[in-house]
Amino acid sequence: MTTSAKTLPLVKDPERLEKRLKEIPPEPGVYLMRDSVDRILYIGKSKKLRSRVRSYFRESQKLSDRIMMMVRQVVEIEFIVTDTEAEALALEANLVKQHQPYFNVLLKDDKKYPYVLVTWSEEYPRIFITRNRRLGKEKDKYYGPFVDTGLLRTTLRVAKRLFPLRQRPQPLHKDRPCLNYDLGRCPGVCQKLVTPEEYHKTIQKIAMVFQGRTEELIQVLTANMQQAAQSMNFEAAARIRDQIAGIRSLSADQKVSLPNDTISRDAIALAADEHHACIQLFQIRAGRLVGRLGFFADAQSGTPGAILQRVLEDHYQTADSVEIPTDILVQHELPEAEMLAEYLSQKKGRKVTIVAPQRQAKAELIEMVERNAHYELERTQRFADRNNQALQDLADILDLPDLPHRIEGYDISHIQGSNAVGSQVVFVDGEPAKQHYRHYKIKNPAVTAGHSDDFASLAEVIRRRFRKYAEDPQLLRVGNSDWPDLVMIDGGKGQLSAVVAVLQEMNLIEDLRVVSLAKQREEIFLPGESQPLPTEAEQPGVQLLRRLRDEAHRFAVSFHRQQRSEKLRRSRLDDIPGLGFNRQKQLLAHFRSIDYIREASPQQLAKAPGIGSRLAQEIYDYFHPA
């Protein structure tokens, strides 16, 4: 077989396709589809590998546009046979997590819904709300995403009031706890007055709330309260009593009418249009709604049942066994419900059933979840309509051939030239894409304290941003996700002219659309035009540019403040002979602040990493001159 034949898509080589399909056994396992450059396009699982893989290539099979696009690129199919269907599901989850194939992406990384993060990897874990679910340390645990942000914040606030937790990211004092310890709000984490084991037990109790295990937590606390009372420790018993009352207050109004209040179940449903699928998952524990989670998916990624199945697989993959209910209600039949149920049963250690109810109370619960999903879809549609209106208006203002997909904004921040920095922020489809944000430290030697030059600083940032395209004109720009459809400069004609000049020098001005937005009157300037465009400050397209400009300004100012703060912290240490940059970092990491370093004795200074007795004496003498 020739090399070209090996790189030919299987749909264009029926003979090789049929031969490959016959090699796949009718057993449970995982299949991997690869393209001509050996990149994994998709990873799937099935209880009968041959039937599932063959279904992609049947003419009678109705595939979504997205899956059809994937099938046209498949050059090779690999498979891994497993003993059971549950093993196949677990293996697929691990492989998808490892390789993250493009066509496996279903859930959208939407920042609308927050998570609760517990940093179990730390000696004294932190617990806080975040909207960025990133692949952090393996032991850290995310709970969510929670739809009711207000209730989530209330829950965390109540938890911090009821249980003694660390209140500060950094200690206020180096040798004693702060007032929070005396008030009983903190167990003295900064001075290690509580052991990590005891502190973990406290965090585990709070985590039970976000796992939907409030009734179980109340039972544990009730037993602790009774034990404390029997031991005549009435103060501890009263404190636990208050904790129980506070936890009960969180779910006082969350009653869901079900015929059997002892049953714990999850109910999941979706509402979809042509583009978006909004999924809601209700967590019912002992007849109470303890959690309402929300997800977004591409509506074209599969059938409603397939979308629900993928959401459940992703959700339960990271869940502890105690978080998995024995009863899962679904709006649509899942394509591989038996496989998922077997996997969850093995993980929980008890039988888990998955059903699509058709009548009575269970069906009414699914209808309630579906109504909530419809409300979220309507909100999403309204937001998308406003965004599209703004993009369309901006395209009309600037006479763009298409709606701008990627817009970049640039700004400069400094104080009279000191600590000058630049910012690059990116909006994709009218929304901030923070993963593409960039900072720039201005390197121009002419920009110093007392001598600022925004024009030169902007020119430097733009040159550094687009330098690779000037050095290699063959780089693909059309269709390149890194190439902006529009660049906005914060400023007026002067700033715009400086940027245009450097782009002309780089021979990129013909390929890049650049505008500037002046602050005072919110006026848009085009290159070579002395007058601004005839726009109104409140029209949608201008408002979009204003949001971009404000975000670029915020991002630049925050980085400038960070740089200025670091310089102020290190400026005094720079004058100490023998104390280089790395030792400064070690010293500051050990003592946390210049004030602590100044107060330390030579013996205490010598205990810092990299600081010997001789250097410690020099540091002490510097802060305590004779």
pLDDT range class, residue 1, cuts 50, 70, 90: very low
Both tokens of 346, joined, read 């093995």
Q: Could you tell me if residue 411 is inside a domain?
A: yes
Domain count, the chain: 5
CATH no. for residue 456?
A: 3.30.420.340
Structure pTM?
0.60
What interhelical angle do 85-99 and 304-317 show, nearest 10? Answer: 80
**DSSP 8-state class, residue 573:** G
- Interval 219-268: pLDDT, tens: 888 888 888 888 888 888 888 888 788 777 765 555 455 555 567 789 99
Which of 54, 278, 29, 256 is CA-nearest to residue 145? 278
Domain region containing 80: 3-100
Q: Could you tell me if residue 392 is inside a domain?
A: no
* Tokens 């894409």 found at: 433
Q: Could you tell me if residue 394 is inside a domain?
A: no
pLDDT at 238: 86
**DSSP 8-state class, residue 612:** -
Q: Are residues 529 and 440 in the same domain?
A: yes
pLDDT range class, residue 38, cuts 50, 70, 90: confident
Element (H, E) at 591: helix 581-591
pLDDT range class, residue 329, cuts 50, 70, 90: very high
Which residues, in sequence order, are CB contacts of 400 under 8 Å at separation 6+? 394, 485, 486, 513
Position 28 pLDDT exceeds 70: yes
pLDDT at 332: 93
Q: Could you tell me if residue 503 is inside a domain?
A: yes
pLDDT at 112: 64
Q: Are residues 192 and 294 in the same domain?
A: no
Q: Are residues 177 and 217 in the same domain?
A: yes
Q: Could you tell me if residue 422 is inside a domain?
A: yes
- Interval 593-625: pLDDT, tens: 777 888 889 888 888 888 888 888 888 888 887
Q: Are residues 424 and 557 in the same domain?
A: yes
* Tokens 């009863």 found at: 327
Q: Could you tell me if residue 342 is inside a domain?
A: yes
pLDDT range class, residue 499, cuts 50, 70, 90: very high
pLDDT at 255: 47
Which range among 106-115, 163-172, 505-514 has the greatest average pLDDT? Answer: 505-514
**DSSP 8-state class, residue 128:** E
Q: How far is CA 371 from CA 30, 147, 181, 194, in A?
A: 36, 14, 47, 47
DSSP notation for 509-570: TTT--EEEEETTTTEEE-TT-SS--S--TTSHHHHHHHHHHHHHHHHHHHHHHHHHHHHHHH
Which of 551, 523, 525, 555 is CA-nearest to residue 536? 523
Q: Are residues 336 and 315 in the same domain?
A: yes
- Interval 160-203: pLDDT, tens: 877 888 877 777 777 788 888 887 788 888 888 889 899 998 88
Q: Could you tell me if residue 385 is inside a domain?
A: no
R_g over Cα of the chain: 30
Beta bridge partners of 363: none
Domain boundary among 201, 220, 250: 250
pLDDT range class, residue 406, cuts 50, 70, 90: very high
Q: Are residues 424 and 362 in the same domain?
A: no
Position 66 pLDDT exceeds 50: yes
Q: Are residues 421 and 562 in the same domain?
A: yes
Q: Could you tell me if residue 587 is inside a domain?
A: yes
Q: Are 588 and 569 in contact (CB under 8 A)?
A: yes
Sign of CA dihedral 488, 489, 495, 500: negative
**Can you tell me whether residue 625 is helix, strand or coil?**
coil
d(CA 361, CA 287): 12
CATH no. for residue 72?
A: 3.40.1440.10
Q: Are residues 122 and 92 in the same domain?
A: no
CATH no. for residue 339?
A: 3.30.420.10
Q: Are residues 434 and 528 in the same domain?
A: yes
Greater model confidence, 136 or 96: 96
Q: Are residues 554 and 579 in the same domain?
A: no
Q: Are residues 582 and 528 in the same domain?
A: no
Q: How far is CA 311 from CA 272, 277, 302, 449, 583, in A?
A: 14, 11, 12, 54, 49
- Interval 270-293: pLDDT, tens: 999 888 889 999 988 777 777 788
**DSSP 8-state class, residue 470:** H
What are phi and psi for residue 298, nearest 5 degrees? Answer: -75, 120
Element (H, E) at 398: helix 360-398
Which of 297, 429, 313 is CA-nearest to residue 373? 297
Least confident of 165-174, 314-323, 358-367: 165-174
Strand ranges inside 147-287, DSSP E: 264-272, 276-285
**Can you tell me whether residue 129 is helix, strand or coil?**
strand
Domain boundary among 567, 585, 602: 567
Q: Are residues 481 and 532 in the same domain?
A: yes
